[in-house]
Structure 1
Amino acid sequence: MSIDVRHSLKPNLVLVNQRQAAGWDSRKRAARELHRLGCEHGIKDTPTVPAIEKAMYRHETGRVAVTDPIYRRLYCLAYRSTPHDLFGEVSHHDDSDRPRFSLRSHKFVPAYIGPTGAAHLREQRRLEPAAGQWSDCDSGSVEHPEGQCELFVWPCGVAIFHLIEDVELGSLAAFAAWRRVSYSGNSAWAAEELATDVGPVDAESIYVFGAHWLTAPAWSAGTLDAALRILSTPAVLLHRDRPIDDSHLAHAELIEQSLLAEDYDHAGIESFGLRGISAAYASWSGVVYHPLAPERSLTESELVACELATQSAWAYTDAINRQTEQGRDPSVADEYGWRYLRGIRSRLTTSRALETGQHQMMRKAILRTSDLLPKLEHAIESLRDTDRG
């Protein structure tokens, strides 16, 4: 069996790097290979592919230690390594006494599949109309090894996986490393998941955007805002092309301490918090929100609905604009042409009669930092020029 070590969560970078070196970008693909090896070598009680995929997530993220003899043997076979290479102590740095922070990570993984693909996906997955969203869409639960997942589908042809994970870490550097590793896996998983229903999906249309709800900070009042700004732009701690290993993580922690001491800020980060009620920041890279007075702050569902509306419009306009950039007149269904986008633009940019000031600040900050409005304007102009919709 495996031992739960969630209180000292630290990604197992050895397992992550070995999987990626083997060319298995997604854990689902790796799980199939481990299952095949288990069967070929006659390993009794080899787990099922879904069970292996879930276990790999827990092992790679450090939620559990790899103590089960079956998994230890499967990993050694798959990565052609010894137990010492894979499970030996890789770092002598003890951070068990370091203050830890907890957050709920909301990952949005959009893809453009077209109106026909959207209709097929709604039927295949038996999706139901989604409540509380800014535009009409359907949704349904999806099994995912990393946490709670819901699939949203818009009739214009956009699908978004909304993945929720509870994360506890001891440093912003560890968060940055977890984010980079997991985003790659999330994109590959989404492509495979959609391919089972609608066929191959354009890889360029898939990306991951994160909005993080901080539940328990680990910083003093004097450094909280700087820490949140780093959380909204975590790549600032990492080297662009360097593999995520212990030495990289240690260097990132040094950068983290330096940026906290300097009260880190960036021109591309926009605050939408209210003093005494919330601390909140939006950037091109991500959004972070920390409710200081939960009874008076925004709700988590309000943030999620705003991001779903923003990312669905971003993915749709991106699909249209990429056609234009390829020298083609954009081709869309007439009912989802420029008039449809004009309605989306109005919903995103105009205030509601009963909208609160906090909600308005959030909506405007997320729209500005997403750079969505220029994409919307360009898509509307292109569709008007070709008389689509």
Structure 2
Amino acid sequence: MIAVDRWTGEEATLLRSVMRASVRDFASRLGISPRTVSNWQRNKTGICRPQMAQILDTALHQCTSAEQEAFNLRLAAMRGATTPASTEPTARPAPCTVVSHKFLPVYLGECAAPLYAAGVPSEPGPGGLDQRILPADHHSAQSSEVHIYACGVAVLHLEEHQHLQSLTDLALWRYRTYRKEPDWAGKWMAHLLDRHADGMHQPPQSLVPQYVLSAYELRTHTWSSAGLDTALQLLATPSVLVNRQNPANVVPLGPGVEEAKFRDGWTHPEAVTFDGGVSRGVVGWSGVSYHPQADERALTMSQIVALELDVQALWAVSSHILHTIEAGHDPVMPTAYSWRFLRSAYFRLTTARPTETAQHRVMREAILATSELPDRLRAAQEALRDSNP
């Protein structure tokens, strides 16, 4: 195992990321103040005191072998890419090219059956869910399609390419289009049901997705190491760049906000970082950002998209079950998609495979930790087992 001869805020923050722990959870596990953990995030060059270094050594020793492997891999990459702070220019906002992936899940229940029958077969994703694909017709997306899952969910996937002068521009575009996409998705799903279902089943009360999740591929940019890290953080949590008090008129927070974020090396305390070989990524509650580099070890954006599709499908299923319980009703699912189906999906998503690379495992665990899907799946599984033993 790579030795940490001198713990700084950077190594401590890396350990928290590998352990997939929030600021409070990490502080609790180490028996320290959350403020100390936040200070590490803000001051990555600060050297930890000997007593704190011993606590971090113990925490690393108690990690699982997979967590230790991920820590070693990312620490080695970090040390190899680090340049003296005095020689690296101050990062600033700059033009870049971003490929946006939007995911809009809709629970259809039995209405999904005729759409699934009409779709083109597709390989199951990491969750092992049977799915088929139907085309969509989005007015501005380079690619738009509907993934129909046999478990009764449709996930609309939009790929859009954006050439930007700043990340604030992307944040504005994101929130302004978010107001329009759910309505478009609902109309497109109604169109597909009219075309393929032929009145076979009563559609759900609402075909409008409850939310939109994004994944961003940072394709071209001019930032060096520190600037790239900040850019990925801002891509994963763009709300810090805009004022959303009036959803109908989202505006920039003010002049100089993005520049200050780059200058200070801003990071979100709840975001989780992951590496894909020589590439870098960040996962937040509202999305994923990733900068792939041409290397045989690197993850591909398609692997992230495949995981997000399954995660959003299972989130929609579990949400339907839990909302049914909240409404005072017993959830009922087809026999093939009982609590055992949720248990199987949970196992596939949370268990490492022998052929899975360390980079893919770190990415998968980061996305699952921030989405909180495993906890939701367990709750839905228990609810189904209680109602339909």
Same fold by TM-score, threshold 0.5 exceeded?
A: yes
Unaligned runs of 5+ in 2: 1-92, 194-202
Deviations 1:206-254 (A, max 9, x none): 32111111110243332210111011000111122236769x33x4452
Give runs of aligned pairs for residues 1-389 of structure 1, distance below 5 A: 99-114=94-109, 116-123=110-117, 126-134=118-126, 135-147=129-141, 148-198=143-193, 199=203, 202=206, 205-242=209-246, 248-249=251-252, 251-273=253-275, 277-387=278-388
One-letter amino acid of the structure 1 residue matched with residue 263 of structure 2:
A
Structure with higher RCO (Cα < 8 A, 6+ apart)? 2
The alignment partner of 1:272 has SS state of: strand
Percent identity for Structure 1 against Structure 2: 37
Deviations 1:350-376 (A, max 9, x none): 011100000000100000000111110
Aligned equivalents of 1:253 and 1:168: distance in 2?
21
One-letter amino acid of the structure 2 residue matched with residue 315 of structure 1:
A
Partner residue, 2:46: none
Structure 1 residues 188, 204: CA separation in 2 closer, same or farther (over 3 Å shift)? closer
Q: Does the CA-based 8 Å contact 1:142-1:149 persist in structure 2?
A: yes
Deviations 1:171-190 (A, max 9, x none): 11111000001122111110
Aligned residues: 285
Deviation at 1:117, TM superposition (A): 0.8
Deviation at 1:323, TM superposition (A): 0.8
Q: Does the CA-based 8 Å contact 1:171-1:253 persist in structure 2?
A: no
Partner residue, 2:49: none
Deviation at 1:293, TM superposition (A): 3.8
Deviation at 1:264, TM superposition (A): 1.0
Deviation at 1:200, TM superposition (A): 5.8
Deviations 1:95-144 (A, max 9, x none): xxx84100111111110010x21112234xx2021125232111132222
The alignment partner of 1:367 has SS state of: helix
Aligned equivalents of 2:349 and 2:299: distance in 1?
17
TM-score after normalising by structure 2 = 0.69
One-letter amino acid of the structure 2 residue matched with residue 334 of structure 1:
T
Give the alignment's Cα RMSD to 1 decimal: 2.0
Structure 1 residues 268, 117: CA separation in 2 closer, same or farther (over 3 Å shift)? same
Aligned equivalents of 2:257 and 2:325: distance in 1?
41
Aligned equivalents of 1:253 and 1:337: distance in 2?
53
Deviation at 1:306, TM superposition (A): 0.8
The alignment partner of 1:273 has SS state of: strand
One-letter amino acid of the structure 1 residue matched with residue 282 of structure 2:
Y
Aligned equivalents of 1:378 and 1:309: distance in 2?
18
Q: Does the CA-based 8 Å contact 2:146-2:157 persist in structure 1?
A: yes
Runs of 4+ off more than 6 Å: none
Deviations 1:263-282 (A, max 9, x none): 1112210001157x011000
TM-score after normalising by structure 1 = 0.69
One-letter amino acid of the structure 1 residue matched with residue 232 of structure 2:
L
The alignment partner of 1:222 has SS state of: helix
Deviations 1:153-202 (A, max 9, x none): 11111101111111111111111000001122111110111122445652
Deviations 1:36-74 (A, max 9, x none): xxxxxxxxxxxxxxxxxxxxxxxxxxxxxxxxxxxxxxx
Deviations 1:19-44 (A, max 9, x none): xxxxxxxxxxxxxxxxxxxxxxxxxx
Q: Does the CA-based 8 Å contact 1:150-1:162 persist in structure 2?
A: yes
The alignment partner of 2:226 has SS state of: coil
Aligned equivalents of 1:190 and 1:162: distance in 2?
10
Deviates more, 1:235-244 or 1:341-350: 235-244
One-letter amino acid of the structure 2 residue matched with residue 140 of structure 1:
L
One-letter amino acid of the structure 2 residue matched with residue 222 of structure 1:
A
One-letter amino acid of the structure 2 residue matched with residue 145 of structure 1:
H
Partner residue, 1:47: none
Deviation at 1:204, TM superposition (A): 6.9
